[in-house]
Structure 1
């Protein structure tokens, strides 16, 4: 397995993995693909945190994409999308992508990474409820899914509402 940055040549493979990892892979263009395309074209996309997981044969198996959100004036990476092809789940690709994303975000001196996702999965990486840090998401009904993983540059004074970048809320 190799975790590496995404390149422009990966676009078709990433789209295929995004479709294969979506909740409705039978749809030609699931909402995850539309969201991914919009996020990657936006000004808040973080190319250094757009990562690929390659299998031993060089095939793209999974991907992670982060965008900049904000809490007050602090820019904070959001693990916006994480996907692993359904034929390769439970083989460590998602775990490797999350670890690599956290390490790369730490190297960028990000104070934390936020995610909206399954607490059982993300808790394994040190993500905790955002309310433990005085941070709330935009949607109160999803509070139990909104989580924070602090990094070396964490500043406890960064508190308040996390604001997602466009196009979240528009798609």
Structure 2
């Protein structure tokens, strides 16, 4: 629990409607809510956490499996979506969700965690430009917005560029 009276916990199926509403509100459109519903339907999330204050869900963070070509062994994850209710943004809720999620990923020996998002925001968590690790996102050239964290002891150097693929459910999000 943070100083905000926030509790971060595992999601339950009873939370699905509230999370979908939160996603639609936070992003101002339905696409991310539809994405997460597809991920749930396909059991394609590995770790999910919600943040609640006084019993109301105000934040959500998901990690789902990603793949790479050439192949990488081990647990490879993509962070997203991350959302905080508009009236609760800029209070540290998203940061707490990311920190909690990254700890869970590390505790489960994730080899790679990828994210597509604001480079300045995600740099504070240790995400570096994927291009530094000769990686790119299969969706399009996202530049420094496509970022990764790898294990400290991991040598991922390859001659060819490694292409990271998110779950197919992400393909329909614009």
Q: Which runs of 5+ in 2 are unaligned?
A: 1-5
Contact 2:8–2:51, Cα closer than 8 Å, also in 1: yes
- Counterpart position of 2:145: 145
Q: Give the whole-Å Cα distance in 2 for the aligned partners of 1:119 and 1:167.
A: 23
1:36-115 to 2 correspondence within 5 Å? 36-46=36-46, 49-55=47-53, 57-71=54-68, 72-74=71-73, 75-115=75-115
- Contact 1:110–1:154 (8 Å) recurs in 2: no
**Take 2:85 and 2:59, find their aligned partners in 1: how far apart are those partners?**
6
Normalised to the residue count of structure 1, the TM-score between the two structures is 0.87
Q: Secondary structure at the match of 1:33?
A: helix
CA change 1:127–1:42 in 2 (3 A) is same
Which deviates the most, 63-72 or 15-24?
A: 15-24
* Structure 1 portions without partners, runs of 5+: 25-29
Question: Contact 2:133–2:157 at 8 Å: present in 1 too?
Answer: no
RMSD value over aligned CA atoms?
1.8
Residues 137 and 143 of structure 1 are in contact (CA less than 8 Å); yes or no, is this contact kept in structure 2?
A: no
TM-score norm. by structure 2 comes to: 0.86
Q: Please tell me whether the aligned partners of residues 4 and 53 of structure 1 are also in contact (alpha carbons under 8 angstroms).
A: yes
**Structure 1 pair 61–134 and aligned structure 2 pair: CA distance change class (3 A):** same
* Per-residue deviation, residues 2-30 of structure 1 (Å, max 9, x unmatched): 11110111112111211211133xxxxx1
> What is the aligned counterpart of 1:15 among 14, 20, 39?
20
Shift of 1:65: 1.1
8 A Cα contact 2:24 2:31, kept in partner = no
Q: Provide the secondary structure at the position in 1 that maps to 2:90.
A: coil
